[in-house]
């Protein structure tokens, strides 16, 4: 049973460019959340997708957008990259109807903006 | 506004002894708490959770204690093993949201010395 998979694992982009990160949830999960983890900090919630819609959003600008596909996989898009967007981006999946459960995380995508 | 705080950035414990990691929260809406462990180059791995209807939850060597009046929780690992060396994150959420939108602390780096 494959867990949460993310691609790519590493990425280097230039300021002002756009980037797309991808996530496939754990089998049986229907909800995908994205987190940004800056160096030395805990993960910060970006947004959550369920039934192909953004359901909740954290304190991130509109440059951060996403999408969920019918097979529950998801993309995170970041436009007009800034140096401060350099971070580890984590995808987590869970099963929406089950409240008392944990989220499973992927290994992350390390984004470096130069 | 740091709603979940782990005030010890690092902790060093002798193998076989007890490791105690602490976490404080400020948001009284939080009633579901989780601990994750993270190795370098991997995503966070779920360890143990507790909801506010309990004050203790055990799973093998791991026990989480919740003190709602003090808005404090702790993770006890006994006995500590070298493989427990990792960064530990405390996370919280309103139970109505389950694991859908987690607020993380900054993490505590635990080192188990042989």
Residues B21-63 have pLDDT tens digits of 999 999 998 988 999 999 988 899 999 999 899 999 999 999 9
- Residue given tokens 């976490």 in the structure block: B23
CB contact under 8 A, B106 and A33: no
Q: How close A70 gets to chain B, by Cα (Å)?
A: 19
pLDDT at B83 exceeding the cut of 90: yes
pLDDT at res. A101: 66
What are phi and psi for residue A18, nearest 5 degrees?
Answer: -115, 150
CB contact under 8 Å between A43 and B95, yes or no, is no
CA-CA-CA-CA torsion for A66, A68, A69, A72, nearest 10 degrees? 140
Interface check for A53 against chain B (CB to CB < 8 A): the answer is: no
Burial class (CB in 10 A: 0-12, 13-18, 19+), A92: buried
**Pick from A45, A99, A108: CB nearest B102:** A45
Q: Chain B partners of A96 at a C-beta cutoff of 8 Å?
A: 100
Q: Along chain A (114 residues), what's the average pLDDT of each consecutive run of 10 residues?
A: 90 98 94 94 94 92 97 97 97 77 89 98
- CB-based contact B73:B93 (threshold 8 Å): no
Chain A and chain B share a number of CB contacts under 8 A equal to: 76
Query: What local confidence, expressed as pLDDT, does residue A98 receive?
Result: 63
> Does B100 contact A103 at a Cβ distance shorter than 8 Å?
yes
Q: Does A42 touch chain B (CB under 8 A)?
A: yes
Token pair 């966070």 in the structure block, residue? B44
């Amino acid at each position: 049973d494959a867990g949460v998979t993310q691609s790519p694992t590493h990425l280097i982009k230039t300021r002002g460019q756009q980037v797309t990160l991808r996530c496939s949830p754990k089998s049986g999960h229907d909800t995908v959340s994205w987190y940004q983890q800056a160096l030395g900090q805990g993960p910060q919630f970006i947004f959550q997708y369920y039934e192909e819609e953004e359901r909740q959003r954290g304190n991130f600008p509109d440059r951060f957008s996403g999408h969920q596909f019918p097979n529950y996989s998801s993309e995170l898009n970041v436009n007009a990259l800034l140096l401060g967007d350099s971070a580890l981006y984590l995808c987590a999946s869970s099963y929406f109807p089950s409240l008392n459960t944990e989220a499973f995380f992927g290994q992350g995508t390390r984004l470096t903006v130069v | 506004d740091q709603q979940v705080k782990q005030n010890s950035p690092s902790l060093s414990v002798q193998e076989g002894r007890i490791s105690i990691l602490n976490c404080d929260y400020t948001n009284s809406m939080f009633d579901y708490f989780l601990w994750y462990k993270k190795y370098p180059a991997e995503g966070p791995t779920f360890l143990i959770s507790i909801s506010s209807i309990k004050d203790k939850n055990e799973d093998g060597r791991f026990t989480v204690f919740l003190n709602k009046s003090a808005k404090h929780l702790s993770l006890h690992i006994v006995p500590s093993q070298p493989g427990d060396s990792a960064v530990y994150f405390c996370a919280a959420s309103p139970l109505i949201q389950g694991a859908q939108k987690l607020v993380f602390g900054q993490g505590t780096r635990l080192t188990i010395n042989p």
